[in-house]
Amino acid sequence: MLLLDVAINGNPVADATAPVTHEMELSLWDLCLKGGPIMIVLAVLSLVCIYILIERAIVVNRAAREDQTFMQRIRDYIHEGEIESAFNLCKKNNSPYARLVAKGISRIGRPVNDILAAVENTGNIEVAGLSKGLPWLATTAAGAPMLGFLGTVVGMVEAFYAIAAEGNSANIATFSSGIYTALVTTVAGLVVGVVALFAYNYLVARINSVMNMLESKSMEFMDLLNEPAI
């Protein structure tokens, strides 16, 4: 009769013995919740990294801006004996290299080695100020994957404990939550670690470029002190 119905009406008949499949949807939020408490720590670290990256990038990019006429105006003021005008120009510019030059101007009249030491110390202070927050990024880059692996170990312990507790009646649902914790925390830890590593290397590269500019300005300033006035 079934074959006759198909032949007459053209309606296929579903196989009663065919397995019924259920589609399971899992949102990103649900996936993060499966990771357990360690996901909270990783989320906090990721927010800290993003804040440090944005805040330091703004500060470093501002410090990297250069006034091409600054050193020429400083040279003219010093050669004309207008030390106060040169110092006021540095205060008005208010950049790392301007503060460096201002420190050197304030030491004019002392031995050259004293001036150079003061300039170098100021440069070190400026670089240290620009590097604020970088240890957090370095620590996160190394520590976030370790936290992820810790979550992996905790998840696997939970999974095997569930299997042992269920005994012969254990099935895939018994330890699925532990597997979720293991895999989700590993992925999250690696993602946070990679983001922190790239942010750290980017900021270090930018700070190194500012350091090179400070060294160039300091040498240019020391050279103009030894130049004869025209």
Is residue 36 within 8 A of residue 158, CB to CB? The reply is no
Mean pLDDT of 177-195: 82
Please give the single-letter amino acid code of residue 64.
A
Is residue 220 within 8 A of residue 70, CB to CB? The reply is no
What confidence tier does 9 reach under pLDDT thresholds 50, 70, 90?
low
Is residue 149 within 8 A of residue 133, CB to CB? The reply is no
What confidence tier does 35 reach under pLDDT thresholds 50, 70, 90?
low
Mean pLDDT of 172-182: 64
Contacts of 203 (CB under 8 A, 6+ apart): 53, 56, 57, 60, 134, 137
Is residue 60 within 8 A of residue 76, CB to CB? The reply is no
Q: Which range, of 65-69, 87-91, 92-96, 173-177, averages the lowest pLDDT?
A: 173-177
Cα of first residue to Cα of last residue in the chain, in angstroms, is 115
To 10 degrees, what angle do helices 70-79 and 83-93 make?
160
- Diameter of the chain measured on Cα atoms: 115
- Helix or strand holding residue 101 (H, E): helix 96-106
Is residue 96 within 8 A of residue 59, CB to CB? The reply is no
Contacts of 1 (CB under 8 A, 6+ apart): none
